[in-house]
């Protein structure tokens, strides 16, 4: 989402870094560029104006310009103000004093409300909680059916009373069911409309006053830009929401909604939707998002993804194999599979400092389909062949190519790349005569 914004901001920062010292005029010029970049990203005009004013006041008023590294100080201030703009600290879900915690999920029709309430339930389930999904959209039978299907996919229980009951009746009945069956969380999917109207708001207000709601979470679509901010503002005025779940943060929108909504509504983004997959939802961390927007990477999120995706026992076994130089094609296949669990490779690279900007990634075209080809080739080998690639003669390679739907040249390429990787591992494990580690570059199949 922030690719264009990141690239443009990095160009501004590069100009600052290229100068030894900075004058007040040069800072003003850089901030004018920052202002234009943010406006082009569809950030609310007043939000941009106030943001730039705060940065300028701090940059000029704190002996920054006479400091040791003024450019870096200005960038640091921009980063800190960006974090504040996005909400400052991570805003977590409220927890009821006595269970269950009840979350009412509201939003316009088409914002991804039903899908994301199920994603949220799955996230809570993975944290060891016992969530109950409630089909509170009594106007759309398709919404009830969709929620039940998602419940089956995620293994989360769904409470529904069909489309003949009032939403308040459904909510109260769900609460009785939750208390009787020991559910920690109750997540109520509510009815949406294509636009905000009195009938929808009246029902949500009745539901909130009748059921002991702990948290009202509003789902908005990041792709709609400032319309999403306006929707959040109107819902908040009528309903007093507690937080926002912003969907489609993996899209190609300019990012203005994410940067504007907290400042305009006073309500924090609590979660973001990062993909269409059921695990494509993350808690929102303002500091990490600011770091990614400014092209500084997001190491903490990368570590968390690795911890969720990589088997610790396998990782320890792999470490031993690498030290003992016993890395084979079975291990190569296993590593590819664990990498794929972490998500699209370009998204992973964006989290690594130095790779955050679009400029760095443009040189390496990442072909996700190549992952599948390599995996198909490796799976077409026998366990014996993967354990000892030296036995892969011409006849075996032709059989592997036929079995994987590829050609012999592609099979040879994978084997050669693996051999290069093994050489690199051997070099890294030891040192040459001068005591320096050898440096090799491996052309991975999924990066061109």
CATH number for 351: 1.10.260.30
Among 262, 281, 296, residue at a domain's last position: 296
Q: Output the domain CATH number for residue 112.
A: 3.40.50.300
Position 444 in a domain: no
Residue 447 lies in a domain: no
Q: Which domain holds residue 192?
A: 101-296
Provide the 3-class DSSP secondary structure of residue 103. strand
Examine residue 95 and state whether it is found in any structural domain, yes or no. no
380 and 240 inside one domain: no
Q: How far is CA 390 from the centre of its chain?
A: 41
Residue 98 and residue 298 in contact, taking contact as beta carbons nearer than 8 Å: no
- For 167-217, the pLDDT digits (tens) are 899 999 999 999 999 999 999 999 888 788 788 888 889 998 889 899 999
Let me know whether 174 and 212 are in one domain: yes
How confident is the model over 62-105, as pLDDT tens digits? 666 565 577 778 888 888 899 999 998 889 999 999 989 999 99
62 in the same domain as 198: no
Joined together, the tokens standing for residue 59 give 């940059």
CATH number of the domain at 68, please: 1.20.120.140
State whether 53 and 144 are in the same domain.
Answer: no
Asked if residue 150 is part of any domain, the answer here is yes
Answer for the pair 46, 261: CB distance below 8 angstroms, yes or no.
no
Contact 385, 399 (CB under 8 A): no
Check whether residue 389 and residue 405 sit in a common domain: yes
DSSP designation for 94: P
What was the pLDDT predicted at 41? 86
- Cα torsion 204, 206, 211, 216 to 10°: value is 30
Note the pLDDT of residue 268.
93
Domain match, 287 and 315 both: no
In a domain, 448, yes or no: no
Confirm whether 439 is domain-assigned. Answer: no
CB atoms within 10 A of CB 217: 24
R_g of the chain, CA atoms, integer Å: 26
C-alpha distance across the termini of the chain, in Å: 23
Residue 446 lies in a domain: no
Q: Are residues 372 and 258 in the same domain?
A: no
Tell me what percent of the chain is helix, strand and coil, each rounded to the nearest 5: 55, 10, 35
- Structural domain contains residue 442: no
Q: What angle do CA 373, 322, 317 make, to 5 degrees?
A: 90
d(C-alpha 376, C-alpha 443), whole Å: 19
Question: Domain check: are 156 and 245 in the same one?
Answer: yes
Query: What is the C-alpha to C-alpha distance for residues 223 and 202, in angstroms, rounded to an integer?
Result: 27
User: Phi and psi of 14, rounded to 5°?
Assistant: -65, -40
Is the torsion defined by CA of 164, 169, 170, 171 positive or negative? positive
Domain boundary pick from 244, 274, 296 = 296
Return all residues near 319 (Cβ < 8 A) that are at least 6 apart.
none
CA dist., res. 420 & res. 424, Å (int): 6
Residue at a domain's end among 281, 296, 311: 296
Assess whether 157 and 189 both reside in one domain: yes
417 in the same domain as 282: no
Same domain, 287 and 337: no
Residues of the chain with pLDDT under 70: 1, 20-21, 62-68, 251-254, 296-316, 318-319, 321-325, 339-368, 425-448
What stretches of 266-407 show up as alpha helix (H) in DSSP?
286-293, 299-309, 312-323, 329-341, 345-350, 358-362, 368-379, 383-387, 394-404
210, 121: one domain? yes
pTM: 0.67
User: Into how many domains does the chain fold?
Assistant: 3
């Amino acid at each position: 989402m922030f690719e264009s914004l990141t690239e443009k901001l990095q160009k501004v920062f590069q100009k600052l870094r290229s100068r030894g010292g900075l004058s007040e005029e040069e800072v003003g010029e850089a901030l004018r560029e920052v202002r234009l970049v943010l406006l082009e990203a569809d950030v609310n005009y007043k939000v941009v104006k106030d943001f730039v004013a705060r940065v300028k006041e701090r940059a000029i008023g704190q002996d920054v310009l006479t400091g040791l590294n003024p450019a870096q100080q200005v960038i640091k201030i921009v980063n800190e103000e960006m974090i504040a703009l996005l909400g400052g600290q991570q805003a977590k879900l409220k927890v009821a004093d006595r269970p269950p915690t009840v979350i009412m999920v509201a939003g316009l029709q088409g914002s991804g409300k039903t899908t994301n309430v199920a994603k949220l339930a799955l996230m809570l389930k993975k944290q060891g909680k016992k969530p109950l999904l409630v089909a509170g959209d009594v106007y759309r039978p398709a919404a009830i059916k969709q929620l039940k299907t998602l419940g089956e996919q995620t293994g989360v229980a769904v409470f529904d009373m069909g489309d003949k009951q009032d939403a308040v009746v459904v909510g109260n009945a769900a609460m009785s069911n939750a208390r009787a069956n020991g559910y920690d969380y109750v997540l109520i999917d509510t009815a949406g409309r294509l636009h905000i109207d009195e009938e929808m708001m009246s029902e949500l207000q009745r539901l909130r006053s009748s059921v002991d709601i702990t948290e009202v979470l509003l789902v908005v679509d990041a792709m709609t830009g400032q319309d999403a901010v306006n929707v959040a503002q109107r819902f908040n005025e009528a309903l007093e929401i507690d937080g926002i779940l912003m969907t489609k943060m993996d899209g190609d929108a300019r990012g203005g909604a994410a940067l504007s909504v907290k400042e305009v509504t006073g309500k924090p983004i609590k979660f973001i939707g990062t993909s269409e997959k059921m695990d494509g939802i993350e808690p929102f961390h303002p500091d990490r998002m600011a770091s990614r927007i400014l092209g500084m990477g997001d190491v903490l999120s990368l570590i968390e993804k690795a911890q969720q995706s990589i088997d610790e026992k396998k990782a320890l076994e792999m470490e031993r194999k690498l030290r003992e130089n016993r890395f084979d094609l079975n291990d190569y296949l296993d590593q590819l599979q664990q990498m794929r669990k972490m998500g699209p490779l370009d998204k992973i690279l964006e989290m690594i400092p130095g790779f955050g900007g679009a400029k760095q990634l443009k040189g390496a075209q990442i072909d996700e389909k190549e992952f599948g080809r390599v995996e198909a080739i490796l799976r077409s080998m026998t366990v014996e062949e993967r354990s000892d690639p030296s036995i892969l003669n011409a006849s075996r390679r032709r059989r592997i190519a036929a079995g994987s739907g590829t050609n012999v040249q592609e099979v040879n390429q994978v084997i050669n790349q693996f051999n290069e990787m093994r050489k690199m591992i051997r070099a890294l494990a030891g040192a040459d005569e001068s005591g320096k580690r050898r440096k090799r570059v491996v052309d991975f199949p999924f990066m061109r």
